[in-house]
Structure 1
Amino acid sequence: MATIQECRAALDRLSGNLARADEGVRGAASFDRSLSCHITDLDQTFTGRLDSGRIRVDALMPGPPATKAEVRLAMTGDDLVAMVAGELRFAKAWASGRVRLEAGFRDLLRLKSLL
């Protein structure tokens, strides 16, 4: 089972990957939205923002998200680490229910190109 430190490192790597991505991907991620990522097996939630093509983590709180972020993710720590490492494809994990993504319709359309 992935630790909370491994999950935080995975979010940092994902943020770096977005920042180094090509123009199309970076453009799709360059909107400003509140973000939460609930690590279900550890029952911890990272909160922050998706801003200018980067993920900024502001806090870590126990339990599910206390407030409803504009972009909400939920998954196990192992799945987060595997996705960022390229070992698990988001579409397959999402389709099988291993990863949950909730956002407004327009945001989902923009995020589609990232995933």
Structure 2
Amino acid sequence: MKRKSLVFTSLLALTGCSANKVLPQASNIELVNIAPNFSKCSYLGEVVGSQGNWFTGDFTSNENLMVGARNELKNEAFKLGGNIVYVQELRNTNAHQSLGTTNTTAIGKVYKCQRN
């Protein structure tokens, strides 16, 4: 029984190491930090992307925390039918007694914009 718990814990820790995957259909969604031209865009809603938690965060690189949160923003924007996410906030948090950043969360507004 102890061996099964060790294997399960090891597998869980390893899955926390990789970034959330971006859906193939969402890979072309653009993340911007300057508001788009609202005359050429329709607002679709707000999205949140997050990677990491109190357990897996210590086993995930800062880069993968960031990439995973960004990928989740794109995936959520795709579900709304958008092609631009205006990123409004990006926050890193640390769990109590953690080794460093354990979670990255990004918040943005999704738009469907005309492309030139």
Whether these two folds match at TM > 0.5 is no
TM-score (norm 2): 0.26
**Structure with the larger RCO, 1 or 2 (CA within 8 Å, 6+ apart):** 2
TM-score (norm 1): 0.26
